[in-house]
């Protein structure tokens, strides 16, 4: 029995004796099936060919990226706090070196994930750090391909965690799409960890919002407004997106509002 991992989206599945026939996450219109056909790997296979690299982004915040690129290629984040550490989003690969480094930084007390494309090997990560809770939104329950008692499905539009961290359900990319608000980030001005629910773009002055990034399907104006309204009352000056160096280091809240107005203007021209 092996927990196979889809090489296109990076999702680890429940243990089976042979490779699964299909990956429902990749068959969904927000993702895609490899043109060469469905392909699989395992965590043991990844640890022989890949490694995780760490980069300190600011005090108490580290990004973690798998090299060479695995599947979608997102990064995870370790947020350190006086009341505990949290892993934001997740990766398919976790090995002894990764565990040692994170334990040296205080370990992990919880994992929270923005949406199903980044569920990856979340159960392996949860087990590696002492059976810690994994927070996913209830609206995306059906996309958890490896069920586990560590997974806590939360409901509503926000969930307060330790250390003033707050999960905000903004929807958009997925119904349960969430971001993490960290008020202590950016030297106390507030940081938003957005995955690609809010996608920092190449100029690093704007963000964008999509239903499907690989298939270029836009979100509606109604859903964009829902995202913007969901952030009201939460101060942040900095935003870190899903991919390496995709971040806005100052005036991020203004950039999100400005970008939403620009986006809606393009899809609903007057």
Confidence (pLDDT) at 270: 66
What whole-number distance in Å separates Cα of residue 128 and Cα of residue 122?
10
**Is 91:64 a contact under the CB 8 Å cutoff?**
yes
Q: What is the pLDDT of residues 215-257, one digit of tens each?
A: 999 999 999 999 999 999 999 999 999 999 999 999 999 999 9
Confidence (pLDDT) at 44: 96
What whole-number distance in Å separates Cα of residue 78 and Cα of residue 86?
6
Domain coordinates in residue numbering, the chain? 52-267
Confidence (pLDDT) at 131: 87
What whole-number distance in Å separates Cα of residue 120 and Cα of residue 91?
5
- Give backbone dihedrals phi and psi of 133, rounded to 5 degrees, phi first: -70, 150
Residues 35-38: contacts with CB under 8 Å, at least 24 apart: 38/6, 38/8
Helices (H), 59-213: 96-104, 122-128
Full-model pTM: 0.97
* DSSP state, residue 87: E
Is the pLDDT at 120 greater than 90? The verdict is yes
**CATH, range 52-267:** 3.60.15.10
Q: What is the mean pLDDT of residues 139-167?
A: 97
């Amino acid at each position: 029995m092996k927990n196979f991992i889809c090489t296109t989206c990076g999702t680890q599945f429940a243990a089976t004796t042979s490779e699964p026939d299909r990956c429902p996450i990749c068959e969904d219109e927000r993702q895609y099936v490899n043109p060469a056909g469905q392909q699989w790997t395992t965590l043991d296979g990844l640890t022989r060919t890949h490694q995780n690299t760490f980069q300190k982004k600011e005090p108490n915040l580290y990004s973690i990226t798998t090299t060479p690129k695995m599947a979608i290629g997102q990064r995870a984040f370790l947020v350190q706090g006086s009341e505990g550490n949290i892993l934001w989003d997740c990766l398919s690969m976790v090995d002894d070196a990764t565990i040692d480094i994170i334990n040296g930084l205080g370990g992990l007390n919880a994992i929270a994930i923005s949406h199903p494309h980044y569920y990856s090997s979340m159960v392996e990560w949860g087990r590696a750090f002492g059976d810690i809770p994994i927070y996913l939104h209830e609206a995306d329950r059906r996309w958890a391909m490896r069920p586990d008692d560590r997974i806590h499905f939360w409901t509503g539009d926000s969930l307060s965690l330790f250390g003033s961290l707050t999960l905000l359900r903004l929807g958009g990319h997925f119904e349960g799409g969430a971001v993490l608000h960290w008020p202590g980030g950016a030297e106390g001005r507030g940081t938003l960890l957005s995955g690609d629910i809010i996608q920092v773009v190449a100029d690093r002055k704007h963000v964008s919002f999509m239903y499907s990034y690989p298939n270029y399907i836009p979100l509606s104006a109604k859903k964009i407004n829902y995202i913007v309204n969901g952030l009201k009352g939460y101060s942040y000056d900095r935003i870190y997106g899903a991919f390496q160096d995709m971040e806005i280091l100052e005036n991020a809240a203004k950039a999100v509002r400005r970008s939403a107005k620009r986006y809606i203007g393009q899809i609903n021209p007057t």
